[in-house]
Structure 1
């Protein structure tokens, strides 16, 4: 069968997925990214033009020098302006712009123009603002709250309002939460007139990095890189019983790296891969769980790591390359856990006689589309060359654009551009679509970053972070283990209601100090919080990735979520390794390139190998399958061993290894053949 035949077969299998299921899956994407309007005619042209101008401006600022006091407010103005035109105030007003949308969009521009024209005088009077300062400041806060509501729902605006109320009514709160309280003028001064509130570090990252990465991702998408990564994964992992599951794991890494979106990766992958998973014997909920787990990997996979990774670099004042470095081993361990689960699935679900057919030869695909890999790795290459993260992603985008021109089926500028109506051909080209998609794709994250500035401003102003950390430590009795568990629970609970980026920002300012007070390095504390913030993607009631996967597979959303937990739980013990003992910092490669230069490589290898063994034990224990189907005793031994191996220390490691050996020996000595589980 030829590659074309396989593509036709795969297209037919994908078409078999119910259209209603795809529509339902799209709704979960909209919950994460907002339900955007769709326009035709002059309004569509206007929105596209505004988005293209926004992308062009930010590409310009990546190379040219634009003052921070100008870049951040202009970025917020662009974001708010487009949010009010692209996202409706309510579903019944969708696909049309109402008069109030125009008023709010114009007001967003007016608020920022007023701030920029004020210059240094405007900033200097932040402790005693004028009446018009307060009016425009209150308008900005309300506009940010409304933009968040339109793009991500009610939760974040309510959380921000709670923080504002905490700042205003501090004297009336019970100890230890009480503080002197701040008037509206003082609050507005911080939020609007300084770089500590709405225009703070979160918006700085959004305006200088996140939007550039979304533009880069859009260039990859419209040049056909996503399709190539899928085809490459299907081809590379085909021909074996585990091929379908392996394809999901590899494709999720390749697709997730550029996108950084868990739900989008889950849906993109699910529409293509689910028919194959069903064909080889995956049950609906298990297939959905694996697809969602792969989507989760998108948020923790270099070179993008999701928006929160850029914030880590900003909060810690470190290079983004150092953040990528810290993510390498945890990402490898995450995908190691998924690969183990897939291998066990092949035995557990009896996939031995099903052959997963290839799309095309790996060599043939790579020979034709090798440049898509160049686009993907060029970011890290430019960083290693000495470029800043901003310039690295800028030049990586240029590389993506230039290499797309190598083939007629990937070019962002059509080769017949100069034929006929040049302007029309250019306007309808994938190049313009990529610039538009880059700006539209950043709106929900950028609005969240602006709202997070309100939270960070309140925490800084009131000292809430130190108070909260003291309370957590007191409840934990000074125990680092209990403090880490409480911190993980706090992050997880907050992540139940807000997206990953918002969850990380909130917890970075209120929960990280609890860990650092007990001696955990700051970079380890922030990475710990980042990984648990990622759990919001698979935790009800906002388990968007599993719910989207369930919509595609036809499975039960909550059973799919439990299956996703089964696939991901082993890897989520990893963060405890690098906060509970100094030796565990080896998993983060000591936090920086400078520290790595003098690191003990044997210690890094040891902690990595013991952690990998612990993950393997947990994978076997949770799946109930190692050499063969495990008994209750064997599963218990494997799970306990996994937890012990995830706790740094040679005593725990020796006991854990002993339990693994005992469980495997019991399986080996049991002569009966493995029973195939349905």
Structure 2
């Protein structure tokens, strides 16, 4: 589009009508959360008490395992048993059976427990006969696979079970497949032995991470939610950023980081923030689709922001056998660059849309909020502080949860137990069952069900890939198609991850592509940590890619915009930052963006090289932001716009020639804009 045209936005007056997010919009947005986390039953009476008690026991069990030693052969099956049992009670088999528990739900839940009991009672003999399982082993193993598929369907929809069944079919039908996909094939007994009777299938790496880390982080996030941390982050951002033309946009960016860091959920962050922030965005002049795109982009930051990063980040640490602190270090600079892109886009929005100063009623001053609720900031630093102190990630999040619980009592309105419980006012039973503490313990377990079910299903996929050698075959096919070119291999890999991400959630997308696509990059000399981070960032794109673009669709429900136009706007805000992963894959110098992937390497790293590549990436992001927005110092011409876009892409490609072209293009475009502005002023 020629940049001399008027921006595609509705006009806004100096006294805009107040904008309120309707209840209908809120409910529609909640539907997208349900699409990501499953449409849960809303139970009453003794059924609700039963589910609450079971979820509470599950949280207690996992908090206990964080501090005590529980054998892996016990922890993983018990975790899966809890997940399956609660999934069949909380998520209905179909919408028409919602808000009640049918007899088949109880039967499936009971069978889930029986499968785990049979495994644990079998002891070492059970594991030793995995290559030649007994008839009952095969029966229980098939039942477990079916239950995992059904739990995935209830919590995440049909696509993930269909993909998992395709991998199972690949394992069974190997001799009849066309080359180069042919393999010797495996019988049902051998397949069940791997999936059920070893720690390589359903109880593999993904469930290990789910049972030891992800569940603890969801409990930690629930403690923050019920102690009022989320509300504080929004109020703090609103008070710190309101009042300027870019204040509404800056509020979204800052609040999304503060909310997203502890939560790790893109859709939940988008909806929570959108209900509060959209009226501000509309008031300063954002049109509906642009506002929704910015909200979804901010929510996306929740998945790539320390200290949680989303469930896939824990899997990176497990796959690479490195500390989670190393993963956090690798994410620091890319996260900064992501939010730099958003801040630049917000600044350019103010100029592009001609936004003026709009007065907002602040909730409270920044000083008062910080003075009264300073302890909520501990959630952003406590986990990292404990890990730097020498604690394991599991113990770090355990003690961070304890800190969150203890500090909640610093104020009456954030206490996780009512103060009346200690003064004897009211019924003890009522105080306990309705306390935020019990709700947080329940929410922590229920919040992990969809991710844990996905991890169990992904374990089946990983087991098939390991058993059949599919990862090496796929990497050879990709490398051959790319002619051995690293650039083309990286592009093909990103497309594979993106296509897989169109159908499945981030966690599943990362697991699948980590075992089938990462070997292609590693085979061409890319360090394993860079390859896995590359795949992680492109797996995150599934949050903003149709048909599962849940964050933009949820934002569109709040703003009343068009879902697909909102998705395109979200891409505009996020594309600059998502080109950065190519920098740490295509050239060794680009690995400086990951701080070299480990604390030991970081200590010996060339800090000047890291600063240089970071600066180059920042300038490239700024150029792309200006090019995609069609605005820099002033509105760009068509030539200036393409100069900035080409320069941005050149700066992302790590080579001396590309850097010279990139910096030259940026300087030339800005010089043209500067002289044009001087002529206009004269």
Which range, TM-score by smaller chain?
A: over 0.9
In 1, Cα distance between equivalents of 2:33 and 2:680: 41
- Using the TM superposition, give the Cα deviation of residue 354 of structure 1 relative to its aligned residue in structure 2, in angstroms: 2.6
Residue 14 of structure 2 aligns with which residue? none
In 2, Cα distance between equivalents of 1:483 and 1:613: 26
User: Where does structure 1 lack aligned partners over 5 or more consecutive residues?
Assistant: 1-11
Map 1:3-152; keep pairs closer than 5 Å. 16-152=20-156
Residue 388 of structure 2 aligns with which residue? 384
Residue 633 of structure 2 aligns with which residue? 627
Q: Provide, for residues 346-387 of structure 1, a one-character-per-residue CA deviation record: whole Å limited to 9, x for no partner.
A: 111111233444321111100000000013210000000000
- Using the TM superposition, give the Cα deviation of residue 239 of structure 1 relative to its aligned residue in structure 2, in angstroms: 2.1
Residue 602 of structure 1 aligns with which residue? 608
In 2, Cα distance between equivalents of 1:391 and 1:354: 46
In 2, Cα distance between equivalents of 1:466 and 1:95: 46
Residue 172 of structure 1 aligns with which residue? 176
Residue 336 of structure 1 aligns with which residue? 340
In 2, Cα distance between equivalents of 1:222 and 1:352: 37
In 1, Cα distance between equivalents of 2:317 and 2:258: 23
Residue 650 of structure 1 aligns with which residue? 656
In 2, Cα distance between equivalents of 1:175 and 1:50: 49
- Using the TM superposition, give the Cα deviation of residue 160 of structure 1 relative to its aligned residue in structure 2, in angstroms: 0.4
- Using the TM superposition, give the Cα deviation of residue 300 of structure 1 relative to its aligned residue in structure 2, in angstroms: 0.2
- Using the TM superposition, give the Cα deviation of residue 673 of structure 1 relative to its aligned residue in structure 2, in angstroms: 8.8
- Using the TM superposition, give the Cα deviation of residue 649 of structure 1 relative to its aligned residue in structure 2, in angstroms: 1.5
Q: 2:529 aligns with which of 523, 529, 543?
A: 523
Answer yes or no: is the 8 Å Cα contact 2:59–2:441 preserved in 1. yes
Secondary structure at 2:297 match in 1 = helix
**Structure 2 residue 437 is the aligned partner of structure 1 residue 431:** yes
Residue 6 of structure 1 aligns with which residue? none
Q: Provide, for residues 87-126 of structure 1, a one-character-per-residue CA deviation record: whole Å limited to 9, x for no partner.
A: 0000000000000000000000000100010000000000
In 2, Cα distance between equivalents of 1:661 and 1:624: 16
Residue 506 of structure 1 aligns with which residue? 512
Secondary structure at 2:413 match in 1 = coil
Secondary structure at 2:186 match in 1 = coil
TM-score (norm 1): 0.97
**Structure 2 residue 398 is the aligned partner of structure 1 residue 397:** no
Secondary structure at 1:671 match in 2 = helix
Answer yes or no: is the 8 Å Cα contact 1:197–1:454 preserved in 2. yes
Residue 249 of structure 1 aligns with which residue? 253
**Structure 2 residue 624 is the aligned partner of structure 1 residue 618:** yes
Secondary structure at 1:409 match in 2 = helix
Q: Provide, for residues 418-473 of structure 1, a one-character-per-residue CA deviation record: whole Å limited to 9, x for no partner.
A: 31322321121100000000000000000000000000000000000000000000
Answer yes or no: is the 8 Å Cα contact 1:244–1:356 preserved in 2. no
**Structure 2 residue 318 is the aligned partner of structure 1 residue 318:** no
Map 1:466-545; keep pairs closer than 5 Å. 466-545=472-551
Q: Provide, for residues 219-247 of structure 1, a one-character-per-residue CA deviation record: whole Å limited to 9, x for no partner.
A: 00000000000000001111211000000
Residue 451 of structure 2 aligns with which residue? 445
**Structure 2 residue 658 is the aligned partner of structure 1 residue 662:** no
Answer yes or no: is the 8 Å Cα contact 2:627–2:644 preserved in 1. yes
Residue 460 of structure 1 aligns with which residue? 466
Q: Provide, for residues 140-175 of structure 1, a one-character-per-residue CA deviation record: whole Å limited to 9, x for no partner.
A: 000000000000000000000000000000000011
Answer yes or no: is the 8 Å Cα contact 1:629–1:674 preserved in 2. no
Residue 407 of structure 1 aligns with which residue? 411
Q: 1:345 aligns with which of 345, 349, 354?
A: 349
- Using the TM superposition, give the Cα deviation of residue 404 of structure 1 relative to its aligned residue in structure 2, in angstroms: 0.1
**Structure 2 residue 399 is the aligned partner of structure 1 residue 361:** no
Q: 2:293 aligns with which of 289, 292, 299?
A: 289
Residue 378 of structure 2 aligns with which residue? 374
In 2, Cα distance between equivalents of 1:618 and 1:357: 34
In 2, Cα distance between equivalents of 1:347 and 1:430: 44
In 2, Cα distance between equivalents of 1:182 and 1:424: 56
Answer yes or no: is the 8 Å Cα contact 2:634–2:673 preserved in 1. yes
In 1, Cα distance between equivalents of 2:680 and 2:136: 76
- Using the TM superposition, give the Cα deviation of residue 654 of structure 1 relative to its aligned residue in structure 2, in angstroms: 1.3
Residue 640 of structure 1 aligns with which residue? 646
Answer yes or no: is the 8 Å Cα contact 2:250–2:343 preserved in 1. yes
Answer yes or no: is the 8 Å Cα contact 2:634–2:677 preserved in 1. no
In 2, Cα distance between equivalents of 1:247 and 1:124: 57
- Using the TM superposition, give the Cα deviation of residue 503 of structure 1 relative to its aligned residue in structure 2, in angstroms: 0.2
Answer yes or no: is the 8 Å Cα contact 1:280–1:356 preserved in 2. no
Secondary structure at 1:358 match in 2 = coil
Residue 8 of structure 1 aligns with which residue? none
In 2, Cα distance between equivalents of 1:427 and 1:103: 27
Answer yes or no: is the 8 Å Cα contact 2:172–2:187 preserved in 1. yes
User: Where does structure 2 lack aligned partners over 5 or more consecutive residues?
Assistant: 1-16
Q: Provide, for residues 264-321 of structure 1, a one-character-per-residue CA deviation record: whole Å limited to 9, x for no partner.
A: 0000000000000000000000000000000000000000000000000000000000
- Shift in CA distance, 13/376, structure 1 to aligned 2, threshold 3 Å: farther
In 2, Cα distance between equivalents of 1:330 and 1:671: 34
In 1, Cα distance between equivalents of 2:439 and 2:59: 11
Answer yes or no: is the 8 Å Cα contact 2:243–2:357 preserved in 1. no
- Using the TM superposition, give the Cα deviation of residue 672 of structure 1 relative to its aligned residue in structure 2, in angstroms: 7.2
**Structure 2 residue 203 is the aligned partner of structure 1 residue 216:** no
Secondary structure at 1:607 match in 2 = helix
Answer yes or no: is the 8 Å Cα contact 1:215–1:437 preserved in 2. yes
Answer yes or no: is the 8 Å Cα contact 1:243–1:356 preserved in 2. no
Answer yes or no: is the 8 Å Cα contact 1:128–1:185 preserved in 2. yes
- Using the TM superposition, give the Cα deviation of residue 218 of structure 1 relative to its aligned residue in structure 2, in angstroms: 0.1
Answer yes or no: is the 8 Å Cα contact 1:308–1:500 preserved in 2. yes
Q: Supply the RMSD in Å over aligned alpha carbons.
A: 1.2
In 2, Cα distance between equivalents of 1:355 and 1:497: 43
Secondary structure at 2:548 match in 1 = coil
In 1, Cα distance between equivalents of 2:361 and 2:293: 23
In 2, Cα distance between equivalents of 1:672 and 1:561: 37
Which deviates further from its counterpart, 573-582 or 373-382? 373-382
Secondary structure at 2:261 match in 1 = helix
Map 1:531-610; keep pairs closer than 5 Å. 531-610=537-616
Secondary structure at 1:664 match in 2 = helix
